[in-house]
Structure 1
């Protein structure tokens, strides 16, 4: 009889242990969010005052105060392990060398964005020729991170990148903005008077339309990359050839800047996204990118977007892409302010899902902050 009672008690303990495991797992997940926040703010892992308050608070919840000493000791152990977990996570991140995919060759604006975003971290840079090769390297786990252009302030969104982000299994974990200053580059001895032909990416040529209007005799040759056009001019060493590219390409290929900042729009920026295989928890994340589709009926898009307005969230960007096989139906790519750990934002996301036929969150990350 006594054995049966003991077994029942142990079964009850097993049930409580299962609940305890769930609670501890939830607590440790929150600890990792705190670790990310402390890293972003440069704060130390340990906070003795906070730890003491937590221990006393938990002991205060007890109905039977006889357990206070035991519970305090248990909490000290939990906090010690949490601090160790934080320190290990931060140490591993600081020591790791990341493999980072870059669209386009060295000297490109994407290369510049990569260097600015990963400044202070150790990484190996890998160059890919197509957007899909870059994203595939993340999806298959070959690369840890990748950098891709997604939007230009003058020419708008890059549709192929939007499509690939939906098709592949990856997440946006950050962003970087780069001011685009196109320059006319040439080899030693070249000048505006000698240049007859200019190579550049079609976007680079388009961004310098006013310059070419003033120099109509210069032939424009579209090339697949601004930095590759600079490399071409450097290899040929012909004073009649020029390239439209950034100053980084000029430095890389030892070309001189013949005419600086010739792009028509002096306030021209490209936004780049940093992507990874899995979402990353960032305590100070304030921007969400998601994809939705709605029923093909009157008012469906308005009703879905109104959820952001009614909840006080600011929509930053909206792009549409056709759904293949469904005439006049679209995927909508949305950037909106918010943090997915915020209960209000969680409610909004649930409402968006209920009003959508398709909903995928691409990432929740820290928005780029321009340094003046």
Structure 2
């Protein structure tokens, strides 16, 4: 048996050597592609979601197994992340500090090889990208339990940035502490949304422990790392980065707890064939206004996936609707619908056409 085991491991080592050789050969072509991109358009984004989606789709559709297709996605995300770093540095601004769920979403989108820049507010994420200090920005837009992030919507009113992509992240909350013992926790810190999403568990299992709201789940983990009597509700990544132990995992009340994040950039991504378009529309508060807005999309057979209203803040009784629809702005039916919508509203701003979360 030992002889058979050694032989199998020897073959695996040979395959690993071949995989390494092929990765480096692949990297030489990646570097050449980066050079060609810069020659043709010095200001273009090196990151190309359409090409990434094409690679993943091709590999997963041809995968004979037993290696799982979901794992192919994860492996190639990191291969492409490392490859992109060879083409040029990719800086990603996100709502920090480290180990927030926005940080997790950023890593899910861009992999380990990107350069991550934590900032203290959603406005600062927009500013970093607008001023060219970051190639991309990642901001939360809505949670399946707590609803929309209004400040993100408001920022789009005046920002020139486009939506470059989206990330849908399953949010799992863990109770963390230095010791890992629940009985030693005398106070619990977390972001207000996290506390709200774990309300039932907290009331049942730690009813007498006071809860304190802080700016982020990562900040809660940092505070717990400095106080042995404190607990924090945060991510598994936060436990790793701040040296904490998991007291209880997955304490969120709703197991289907997802947060959607938007990727921001100065330029638009290429069309992929599975895209989403976001539009901001201003209308007067009058009978039938919303119906007039929605009818062109329905008439063109375009599926609407989200609509959210906000006061315009510029004039009383005017509202701005943020609308997500399936399809790309370059499609003829989309052009027709948007032209019709534009003729019926006070103003319209296309926030971007981008790959829908896969």
TM-score by structure 1 length? 0.73
Change (3 A) 1:36 1:110: closer
- Residues 268 and 354 of structure 2 are in contact (CA less than 8 Å); yes or no, is this contact kept in structure 1? no
| CA deviation vs aligned residue, 1:157-214 (integer Å, no higher than 9, x gap) | 10000000222110001011111111100002x4221211000011111111001211
Give the aligned partner of residue 203 of structure 1: 193
Q: Specify every segment of 5 or more residues in structure 1 that has no aligned partner in the other structure, as ranges.
A: 1-27, 44-90
The yes-or-no answer on 1:154 pairing with 2:167 is no
What is the distance in 1 between the residues matched to 2:201 and 2:93?
33
1:38 Cα offset (Å): 5.1
For 1:265 and 1:36, locate their aligned partners in 2 and report how far apart those are by CA, in whole Å: 31
1:227 alignment partner in structure 2: 218
Secondary structure of residue in 2 paired with 1:294? strand
Q: In 2, distance between residues paired with 1:278 and 1:201?
A: 33
| Pair 1:136-2:127 in alignment | yes
Question: Is the alpha carbon distance of 1:180 and 1:42 closer, same or farther for their aligned partners in structure 2, counting shifts above 3 Å?
Answer: closer
Rounded to whole Å, the distance in 2 between the matches of 1:36 and 1:192 is: 44
The answer for unaligned runs of 5 or more in structure 2 is 1-39, 57-82
Matched, 1:362 2:354: no
State the distance in 2 between where 1:36 and 1:216 align: 46
> Displacement, 1:278?
2.2
Give the superposition deviation at 1:112.
0.7
1:343 aligned partner:
332
Q: Deviations over 1:49-92 (max 9, x none)?
A: xxxxxxxxxxxxxxxxxxxxxxxxxxxxxxxxxxxxxxxxxx99
Report how far residue 126 of structure 1 moved.
0.6
| Whole-Å separation in 2 of the counterparts to 1:39 and 1:148 | 21
The structure having more radius of gyration, on CA atoms, is 1
Output one character per residue of 1:131-153: Cα deviation in whole Å (capped at 9) or x when no partner: 10110111122211011111000
Note the C-alpha offset of 1:39: 5.4
User: How many residues are matched?
Assistant: 287
1:99 paired with 2:88, answer no
Q: Aligned residue for 2:100?
A: 108
Q: Is the contact between residue 49 and residue 269 of structure 2 (CA under 8 Å) also seen in structure 1?
A: no
Q: Distance in 1 between matches of 2:351 and 2:86?
A: 26
Q: CA RMSD in A?
A: 2.2
